[in-house]
Amino acid sequence: MDTFQNFDCTKHLNMLKSALCQITKYEEIKTPSFEAAQAYYNVGKLEECEQVVLELQKNDMVTKAVKKLQQNIQIQKLQISEGKYDYKSMVEEAKVNFVVKCQNYVNPNIEIREAGNKRFGYFAKSKIEMGTKLIVEKAFLIAEQQQMFQQLLVKDQLKDSQMAQYKALRGGDISLSFFNLQEKYSKNGFSSFPRLEDELKKDSLKLEVLTLSSCTINHSCLPNAYWYFIGDVQFIITQRQIEENEQIFLQYVDPSQVTFVKQPDEIRRLFGFECECEMCKNMTQQQRAEISKLTIHLEMKIKAQDKDGATQNDISSVEDICKRVVKIFDESCARRSALLHYYTELSYVLQTSGNISNIRKAIDVGIKALESFGIDGAQARIGQLVMIPNAKHYMNFQAVGAILNILSFCFIVSKGEVKNWLKVLEQVFYKVTGGCDDYKYFLKNRLEISGVK
């Protein structure tokens, strides 16, 4: 594993370039080489990798490295055929060192295709169930966020205009070098806490991670997949059912930190492109301005409630805002996401006020949300909120509870009194996620980390 102290930038840039060329089919691979095989392996394209290895065998080019690669292919095949990753041992490993042993995997039901203005993207070849692993991928490059820019060697001096552009994208005072690689980070990188418990600590290790497969997934403000990391391994999971030929989308910004109205601005600021997702395309400027006003209003309400707990009037007023939001979004696919956002916020505030009667109200709010939008919208929301590692909302049990309130309506509240809250949370979580191992494991882990037994 390279660190940035002894980092051979040319080698990595070349590897990166060749791998990106291959996965996005910019260039055909003309001559079989170990690098080509390794690049396929890196992005989980085992068949292609084996093909290249076969060519190498034919040409009598089997080196030690190729043999090792062959072994790895066999191990990975076995692992994939079992469809399992040992999360527990991976998490344990990540506690000691965030570099975790793991084989890459790309779900055979997805493939890279041209995606109009967005160039390339991943698409579903056939229907994919919610909670399905799409990609499991070890980071290609990884760097501590604070140190990365200082540690890069200054090779080419950037023009002022480039520096300004870079600063506008990422902020901070940085001396830039091999700009291309940095640009790759800024456009394609993920931020990650390598250990689950790190998000609870101040000044904890935060990483910039570059992947090769998942970096081809485009952004949507209304995504259908989410990601999380264990150490330097990234998992991409569907957060709802995905139809044949549908494009896979991640949300590049953390939804718990940014309201959906502000997302396009954040996308522009952080990643430097104009969002052209369905939601953004469907929304007019006027609608966006109106929603912004309502959001500010709601934020003020939420702040006020945080202190004293919500009153019936507060709830009515937020509901009023929600109704206005519905009107604005009536024709837009963003409608459901918008309302769930508001309801989730309100539910959270009610719960964290620590007042039992407010918890009841929070459930009522959840009921209203679900009545309007059904379970799949809520599932999408929970996928985002509970699993994305950076979010602060769900660091504690109450916050997880607040989000799950919305879901509890479908399964529990509608059938009777809520007796054992924790059990309910677990049950709801389990049912909503179809018992998916990832969710189950992570909920348990998060609750444990939060000190809830």
* Binding residues for ligand SAM (CB under 6 A): 115, 118-121, 187-188, 215-216, 218-220, 271, 273, 275-277
Q: Which is nearer to ligand SAM, 217 or 447 (CB)?
A: 217
Backbone dihedral angles phi then psi of residue 112, each to the nearest 5 degrees: -80, 130
- Shortest approach of ligand SAM to residue 220 CB, angstroms? 6
Could you write out the three-class secondary structure of the chain?
CCCCCCCCHHHHHHHHHHHHHHHCCCCCCCCCCHHHHHHHHHCCCHHHHHHHHHHHHHCCCCCHHHHHHHHHHHHHHHHHHHCCCCHHHHHHHHHHCCCCCCCCEECCCEEEEECHHHCEEEEECCCECCCCEEEEEECCEEEEHHHHHHHCCCCCCCCHHHHHHHHHHHCCCCCCCCHHHHHHHHHHCEEECCCHHHHHCCCCCCEEEECCCHHHCEECCCCCEEEEEECCEEEEEECCCECCCCECEECCCCCCCCCHHHHHHHHHHHHCCCCCCHHHHHCCHHHHHHHHHHHHHHHHHHHHHHHHCCCHHHHHHHHHHHHHHHHHCCCCCCHHHHHHHHHHHHHHHHHHCCCHHHHHHHHHHHHHHHHHHHHHHHHHHHHHHHHCCCCCHHHCHHHHHHHHHHHHHHHCHHHCCCCCHHHHHHHHHHHHCCCCHHHHHHHHHHHHHCCCC
- Shortest approach of ligand SAM to residue 212 CB, angstroms? 11
Q: Which is nearer to ligand SAM, 187 or 288 (CB)?
A: 187
Q: Which is nearer to ligand SAM, 249 or 439 (CB)?
A: 249
Please enumerate in sequence order all residues whose Cβ is within 8 A of that of 113, keeping only pairs 6 or more positions apart, or say none: 120, 121, 122, 123
Longest dimension (CA), the chain: 79
- Shortest approach of ligand SAM to residue 252 CB, angstroms? 7
Q: Which is nearer to ligand SAM, 220 or 352 (CB)?
A: 220
Q: CA distances (Å), 36 to each of 12, 69, 138, 300, in order?
A: 14, 12, 18, 55
- Shortest approach of ligand SAM to residue 394 CB, angstroms? 25
